[in-house]
Amino acid sequence: MKRKKLAIGLDNFKRLIDDGYMYIDKTLLVKDIVESGSSVVLITRPRRFGKTLNMSMLKYFYEIPKCREFAFENEDVSYLFNALNIFEDDEYRKQQGKYPVIFISLKGAKKTNWEDTYQNLVEIVSEEYKRHRYMLKSDSLSDEEKERYEKIINRKATQVDYEGIIKDLSKYLERYFEQKVMVLIDEYDTPIQAGYINGYYEEIINFMKSMLGKGLKGNDSLKQGVLTGIMKVAKESIFSDFNNPRVYTVITNDISDKFGFLEEEVEELLKQFGLGEKFKEVKMWYNGYQFGLGTTIYNPWSIINYAVQPEMGLRPYWTNTSANTVIKEVMQLDKVEGKKVVEDLLEGRLVEKTIQENVIYETIKTNPESAWSFLLHAGYLKVTGKKQEKENITYNLAIPNLEVKIIYQSMLRDYFKEDFKIATKINDLIKSLIDQDEETFTILLEELYLIYVSYNDTKTTHERIDLSEEKEKHENFHHGFILGLLMFGIEHYEIKSNREYGLGRPDIVLIPKDETKQAYIFEFKWASRKSKKTLEYLLKEAKNQIKEKRYTEGVLKTHNLSKVTEIPVGFKGKKIMMQIISK
C-alpha cells in the first residue's frame, strides 16, 4: 500500500481518488449488491462507518457521465477504478458508467421540527432534480411533466409531488437514456431518528413510507435500489410493501467486511504513517466490532482521526449525542434491569438479549428489547455469539472497545449529575464516606433516594410467584443505584462489582489506587415495606454475611492492603440503615 494522505470526513469518492487520498478498497461491494438478487437492498451500519463514501463510490461506478453534466463532471470516470478490485473482473468493468443514477443523501435532514425538516427534504430533492435538468431540453418529457419538474426544482410543488419524486424521476431517466435506473438513498433513517427525538415522528414516517413505497415498489423503471441507514425501521413496516428486500444488518454475515476497516487494513495503515508500534494500543481502543458473527471491524472514523493527529493521543473520537440520550433512556426504562445490564457490560460480563432486526422507534422508551436492539445497531454494543432454542434466538452482547466503554461510563455518571445541587450532594456523600462520617453519609444517601428513587422502583410486585427473584431484583436496584453514585464521585478508587473475594461476592468493593489508603466493602440487604423484617435485622444480616464469607480477609489479601472499611446496608422501601466499620 503506497503511502498517501488521509482525509477526515471526505465522503466524495471521486475527490478522494483525484486528490490522492488513501482509499481502503471496498469496491467489491458492487459485486455483493448485484449478487444479492434483490431489486431493493438495505444496508444498516453505525454512523461514521463509511456508508456515504460507499454510496458515492456506487454512484461513480454506475452513473452515465451525462448525468453529471451540470455538476461539471460529465467526463468518463472509469480511471477511478483502474487500480481497484472491482475492475479485476471484466464483467463488472463493462458495467461501469452504464446506468442513470438517482442519488439522494438524507444525512442532513434532521431539524428540530417537522416544518424545517420538510423544507430540508424539499431542498435535497430539488437539488437532485436540478442535477438532471438536461432532460428539460429534450422531447422525452411532456409539457405537463416539464411543468411539474420545474415546480419541484423551484420548491413550489405539493407534498404529494415530493412524495412521488423517486418514481417520477426514475421514469423520466429511463425514458431519456432507454436504460433502467439505479436509485441510491443514503442515511434514509436520519430524519426518522430526528423525528423520534424531536416529536414529529408520525409526520416523517408517513412521508418516508409514501416516498419509498412509491419509488421502490412496483417501479418498472428501477434496476436496483440501495439504501443505507443505522437500522431497519419497522413502523407498520416501512419496507413491508417491497418485494422481498435484501437486508444486511450488523448481525448478517454477508458484506460484513465492506463497511469499516479490517484488522489487517488498520495494521498496514498504521505502518504507513509510522505508527506500527501503537497497534496494540489502537486495538484496545478501537477494535472489537463484530459484523456478522466472525468479522472483526475497526471504526474507520476513529482510526483516521488518530492517524492524522497522533500527537492528540488515543481518545474517544466517535460520539453521538442523540444515541447517548437513548443510552440514558435505556437506563431509565427499567431502573433495576437497565443499570444492572450497564454495570455487567462495564464489568466485562456478557449480556444475553433478544435482538430485533426491525426496530420501532416509538417503543425504544417503553420496550427494553427495542432499546437494546437500537444500541446494537447504532454501534454501542457488539454481538459475540448467539443461541437458538427452537424459534427463539438470543444474542450475547458486549461493549465493543475502550472508546465506547468510556461513553457508557460517562452516561452512568451523568445520570446522577442533572444539576449542580445534586452534584454537590454526591460530592458531599463521597466526602462523608472518606471521612467515616456515618451519620452524614446516611442522611445524604436518604436525600438522594427521595430525589431519584420512585415508589415503583422499590415496591414489591405481588404478581411474582418467585419471591427470591423479587428479592434479587430489588437488591440489584439498590446495588445499581449506589454503584452509579460511586462511579460519579470516586476518582482515586477502582470499583469492583460482584467480584469474588473470600468465600463469596460482595456487592461493591472500592480498591484504593494508593495502597496506603483503605478499601471499602458494601453489602446490601433488602426487604419490602410490608415485610416483618426490621432495618436492624437487615443490617445484622448484611454484617454477618461480610463476616461469614470472609470478604475483608479476601480483599486485604488479594490487593495487598492493610486497611478496610465494612459498610453493611439495609433497605426497606426508601428507609436506609447502615454502619461504617473500620478494620
Tally of residues, the chain: 583
Grid cell in block for residue 151: 415546480
For residues 494-533, b (16+ Cβ closer than 10 Å) or e, as one string? ebbbbbebbeebbbbbbbbeeeebbbbbbbbbbbbeeeee
Assess if residue 11 is contained within a domain: no
Task: Give whole-number Cα distances, 150 to 5, 102, 131, in Å.
Answer: 42, 17, 12
Query: Are the C-beta atoms of residues 476 and 338 closer than 8 Å to each other?
Result: no
Q: How far apart are CA 342 and CA 350, in angstroms?
A: 11
Same domain for 291 and 336, yes or no, is: no
Query: Are the C-beta atoms of residues 138 and 145 closer than 8 Å to each other?
Result: no
Same domain for 213 and 74, yes or no, is: yes
Assess if residue 536 is contained within a domain: yes
Instruction: Give per-residue pLDDT as tens, 45-63.
Output: 998 899 999 999 999 999 9
* CA gyration radius, the chain: 28
Same domain for 94 and 178, yes or no, is: yes
Domain assignment of residue 481, given as a range: 417-582
Residue 3 in this model has a pLDDT that exceeds 70 = no
**Of the listed ranges 158-167, 355-364, 397-406, 409-418, the one predicted with least confidence:** 409-418
For residues 327-345, average pLDDT:
67
Instruction: Give per-residue pLDDT as tens, 510-559.
Output: 898 888 888 999 998 888 777 889 999 999 999 999 999 999 999 999 99
Assess if residue 17 is contained within a domain: no
Same domain for 308 and 343, yes or no, is: no
Assess if residue 437 is contained within a domain: yes
Same domain for 335 and 382, yes or no, is: yes
Amino acid at 279: F
For position 185, what pLDDT does the model report?
A: 97
Assess if residue 168 is contained within a domain: yes
Same domain for 351 and 385, yes or no, is: yes
Same domain for 187 and 303, yes or no, is: no
For position 32, what pLDDT does the model report?
A: 94
Reference 58, options 105, 107, 103; nearest CA is: 103
Strand extents, DSSP E, 390-501: 392-398, 493-497
Q: How far apart are CA 402 and CA 410, in angstroms?
A: 12
Task: Give whole-number Cα distances, 37 to 34, 394, 490, 556, in Å.
Answer: 6, 28, 56, 63
Grid cell in block for residue 256: 460484513
Instruction: Give per-residue pLDDT as tens, 279-290.
Output: 999 999 998 788
Grid cell in block for residue 29: 461491494
- Give the residue with greater pLDDT, 466 vs 76: 76
Burial of 454 (0-12, 13-18, 19+ CB in 10 A): exposed
Q: How far apart are CA 307 and CA 1, in angstroms?
A: 16
**Domain edge (last residue) among 381, 412, 443:** 412
For residues 252-271, average pLDDT:
93
Assess if residue 247 is contained within a domain: no
For position 301, what pLDDT does the model report?
A: 93
Residue 1 in this model has a pLDDT that exceeds 60 = no
For position 431, what pLDDT does the model report?
A: 83
CA 99 to the chain's CA centroid: 34
Same domain for 71 and 123, yes or no, is: yes
Percent of the chain residues topping a pLDDT of 90: 49
Q: How far apart are CA 457 and CA 365, in angstroms?
A: 17
Residue 161 in this model has a pLDDT that exceeds 50 = yes
Q: How far apart are CA 530 and CA 137, in angstroms?
A: 82
* Coil, strand or helix at 37: coil
Contacts of 213 (CB under 8 A, 6+ apart): 241, 242
Mean pLDDT score of the chain: 85
What pTM did the predictor assign? 0.73
Grid cell in block for residue 309: 493527529
Same domain for 403 and 530, yes or no, is: no
Query: Are the C-beta atoms of residues 387 and 352 closer than 8 Å to each other?
Result: yes
DSSP per-residue string spanning 470-511: HHHHHHHHHHHHHHHHHHHH-SSEEEEES--BTTB--SEEEE
Task: Tell me how many domains the chain contains.
Answer: 4
Reference 153, options 167, 139, 169; nearest CA is: 169
Instruction: For residue 13, list its beta bridge partners.
Output: none
Instruction: Give per-residue pLDDT as tens, 290-299.
Output: 898 778 999 9
Instruction: Give per-residue pLDDT as tens, 169-226.
Output: 999 999 999 999 999 999 999 999 889 888 898 999 999 999 998 999 889 999 999 9
Task: Give whole-number Cα distances, 191 to 106, 199, 207, 225, 428, in Å.
Answer: 7, 12, 10, 19, 43
- Give the residue with greater pLDDT, 578 vs 100: 100
**pLDDT confidence band for 460 (50 / 70 / 90):** very low
Same domain for 391 and 483, yes or no, is: no
Same domain for 354 and 286, yes or no, is: no
For position 337, what pLDDT does the model report?
A: 65
Query: Are the C-beta atoms of residues 199 and 238 closer than 8 Å to each other?
Result: no
Assess if residue 6 is contained within a domain: no
Same domain for 175 and 271, yes or no, is: no
Q: How far apart are CA 236 and CA 368, in angstroms?
A: 19
Residue with cell 461491494: 29
Assess if residue 575 is contained within a domain: yes
Query: Are the C-beta atoms of residues 174 and 100 closer than 8 Å to each other?
Result: yes
**Domain edge (last residue) among 242, 277, 312:** 312
**Of the listed ranges 11-20, 153-162, 218-227, 563-572, the one predicted with least confidence:** 563-572
Task: Give whole-number Cα distances, 85 to 90, 96, 349, in Å.
Answer: 11, 13, 40
**Domain edge (last residue) among 225, 252, 279:** 225
